[in-house]
Chains A and B, each alone.
Chain A
Amino acid sequence: MTTAHARGPAPAAADRATADPDRPVTMADVAAAAGVSVKTVSNVLAGHAHVRPATRDRVLAAVAALGYRVNPFASRLRSGRTGVIAFALPHLYQPYFGDLAERVIAEGERRGLTVVIEPTDAVAAAERAVLTGGRRQQVDGAIVSPAALSPAEVERLRVEGPVVLLGPRLGAPPADQAVMDDRGAARTAVAHLLATGRRRIAAIGATPRGGSAALREAGYRDALAAAGVPVDYALVLDAPDWDRRSSGAAAAVRLLGSGAAFDAVFCFNDAMAFGALRVLASRGLRVPDDVAVVGFDDTEQARFSTPPLTSVDPGQEQIARTAVELLVDRIGGYAGEPRVVVAEHRLAVRESSGGPRTPVA
């Protein structure tokens, strides 16, 4: 379905500002700016596979340059679509998800899609509703990061509609997955502490629920084993609520109260690391001189904490980009077997583990 020929030639992009600055940008404007047909623009935005990469890039560049946004209503009439996708996550106040949400939004914007966030509050019924097509009236598809549903429950679900799953890698995923290498990234973080001479490394964030916590704990053990350091379970601390700084603070208080000697702490996410940093400061312990601290997620706040936090970036940018790409394919009708893309991680070394000063401004 096209719109341009019905009202004559589309104005060139450069003429828009002079013509009528208040007129919304249309698909025809994007087509004119990219030098392609409206049909091609429509194909690119719908994620159809048979568009040459160079053409696709030109169209996406024009979308960005003109600030084109899909008119959800018109789009729904044409194609039955809304031009809106949802990102369902447990909590926005958990810094990792706030950061990731901003990246997914930017990625959607690049493709002219509106992204809405559904915070599920880690309620299983809400997660199930999104995964089984409960938001079809509002959105064309969803990126979902389950927190309440266990990996086994997710695998058993009959997923409805276009869905991409984040979270730990599943053995038999019911939908496409954009995942991080939880175990490998944790191993990298702990190997860094070992390489800088730490031997009594505590781990904060273990839970009996499996999923990411179990994988990160396995990565912690992998790194210790590779360095010939035995695991001391007095140094492995539970923290059931990953989303709160208070959880990391409470674990640090327990660790200090136990009397166990330690010279480093690896926290299974940044939120808990900020809680641990706060407790160490209150007790007069110097970071990193007395205790080195490493987080996981490399959130924005990691650059701003006192001291700035060394953290492993699980590949946020790549996860956001891949998740939107996979979802756009599915919305466009791709019906192949579930695909899994594993992001590459990277360690950001800052002062909390003896790294260089990293002024923010």
Chain B
Amino acid sequence: MAVTMQDVARRAAVSVKTVSRVVNDEPHISPDKRARVLAAIDELSYRLNPAARTLRTGRSGVIGLGLPDLREPYYAELAHAVLQQAGRRGLTVLVDPTGGDRDRELALLRGRGGGLDGVLLYALGVGAGDADAAALPAVLLGERVEPGAAAAVDADPAVAAAVAHLVETGRRRIAVLGADPRPGSPGARRTAAFRRAACDAGLDVDEALLLDVGPRWGRQAGAEAAARLLDSGRPVDALIAHTDALALGALRAALDRGLRVPEDLAVVGSGDTEDARYAVPSLTSIAQGTSEVAGTAVALLEDRIEGRAPRDDGAKAAAAVELRLRESTLGVGVA
């Protein structure tokens, strides 16, 4: 529930009018009352309703974009795609790194310090319900979103394609990097898709091969998880990582151990980033329609900022995903 001016008034034991006068920086308020109001605002994390302020001051032409991790090549490329789309519409983008933390995501949805016309959020912590509580026009993007409420990526078919491709090339013991126990999280969804695909392909899923790597899906996390797995001696002949960064980390850990990729271990990433294309061996990866996601998200947000009725193609905003085959599964020199 959003904190209101009434809540601030109650906490500070003053009238709503007094809160309003402090907020609008009007004169003739006793220093004591002013201090009490400011303390209450601080305590309750109260924010001025930016929509109301927009009426008075007009728009800033600036939108916020919340992303979990700037070192992760997929998010960096997504930011670039959003920037290009926004630039065409004369909008400036300020990127807010959230670390996937729910509080920081909520702070952005509430407008942070102000001056934003709207917010795009690649959500890991909050869900579609929270977006309705946003204090300014907002669009969620990514996987942890409901169709119609956001620019969604449905990676399930590509995860299935990756499993089918690995089975076709003779793999039986497939590990997953990024299995996440939090229900509804991208990791949990993708891992569920993996289970279904593995089942369809007649594989027994070994739970010990489904690895939770923690909240940040970067290179180091991928390397550490893969190292633990490879050092455990448990047989494994392929690995599907939920980001390219995790896959690059796993690739390094495998090569450090003298394994050949893909002969001893096939590796699949996700995001189809520049890092994947230029890796040695080049990395088979799931392309997630980055520019389509960005285009849809910016268009939806613009509708909301302008107060237009939401387009009825919201549910169709799911981007095309596709498995790009390269050396890390096919063999060096093949692709």
Contacts and interface: CB of A to CB of B under 8 A. Distances in A.
Question: Are A and B co-members of a single complex?
Answer: yes
9 contacts: A117-B70, A117-B96, A119-B80, A135-B92, A138-B113, A245-B278, A274-B275, A281-B280, A303-B219
A129 B61 CA distance: 13
Given A1-B38, A7-B39, A26-B43, A359 B256 contact: yes
Given A74-B46, A84-B112, A278-B282, 7 more contacts: A3-B38, A6-B32, A99-B71, A118-B94, A137-B114, A138-B114, A300-B218
Contact of B62 (A1, A77, A135, A274): A135
A71 B45 contact: yes
Contact of A77 (B22, B80, B93, B281): B22
Interface residues of B, number: 65
Specify the main secondary structure of chain B where it touches its partner: helix
Given A24-B43, A121-B87, A1 B35 contact: yes
A102 B71 contact: yes
Contacts of B73: 93, 95, 98
A254 interface: no
Contacts of B249: 304, 360-361
Contacts of A237: none
A361 B70 contact: no
A200 B44 CA distance: 65
A39 to B, nearest CB: 12
B23 interface: yes
Contacts of A78: 38
Given A277-B280, A301-B248, A306-B255, A116 B35 contact: no
**Interface residues of A toward B: which range?**
35 or more
A114 interface: yes
Contacts of B116: 138
B112 A306 contact: no
Interface in A39-86: 71-78, 82-84, 86
Contacts of B224: 361
B278 A274 contact: yes
B171 interface: no
Contact of B113 (A28, A84, A246, A277): A84
A221 interface: no
Contacts of A76: 113-114
A300 B245 CA distance: 11
A137 B113 CA distance: 9
Interface in B275-294: 275, 277-282
Residue of A6, A139, A275 contacting most chain B CB atoms (<10 Å): A6
A117 B76 CA distance: 11
Closest 7 A/B residue pairs (Cβ): A72-B113, A82-B113, A306-B280, A361-B227, A137-B115, A138-B115, A3-B39
Nearest to B282: A278
Contacts of A74: 38, 41-42, 46
Contacts of B223: 304, 360-361
Contacts of B251: 304, 306
Contacts, number: 192
Interface in B77-125: 77, 79-80, 83-84, 87, 92-97, 112-116
Interface of A: 1-7, 23-24, 26-28, 71-78, 82-84, 86, 91-93, 95, 98-99, 101-102, 105, 114-119, 121, 123, 126, 129, 135, 137-139, 244-246, 249, 274-275, 277-278, 281-282, 300-301, 303-306, 308, 357, 359-361
Contacts of A95: 71, 73
B298 interface: no
Contacts of A72: 112-114
B87 to A, nearest CB: 7
A23 B279 contact: no
Interface string B222-254: 011011000000000000000000001101110
B220 interface: yes
B128 to A, nearest CB: 22
Given A92-B70, A138-B94, A116 B38 contact: no
Residue of B64, B76, B84 contacting most chain A CB atoms (<10 Å): B76
Contact of B41 (A71, A101, A115, A116): A71
B165 interface: no
Contacts of A282: 333
B41 A137 contact: no
A245 B80 contact: no
Interface in B289-335: 333
B48 interface: yes
Contacts of B253: 359-361
A306 B112 CA distance: 41
Contacts of A245: 274, 277-278
Nearest to B48: A73
Contacts of A114: 96, 112-113
Contact of B97 (A86, A93, A101, A281): A101
Contacts of A306: 251-252, 255, 279-281
B269 to A, nearest CB: 12
Contact of A116 (B71, B94, B220, B282): B94
Interface string B12-42: 0000000000110100000010011011011
B202 to A, nearest CB: 33
A102 B280 contact: no
A6 B92 contact: no
A304 B219 contact: yes
Contact of A119 (B93, B97, B114, B279): B93
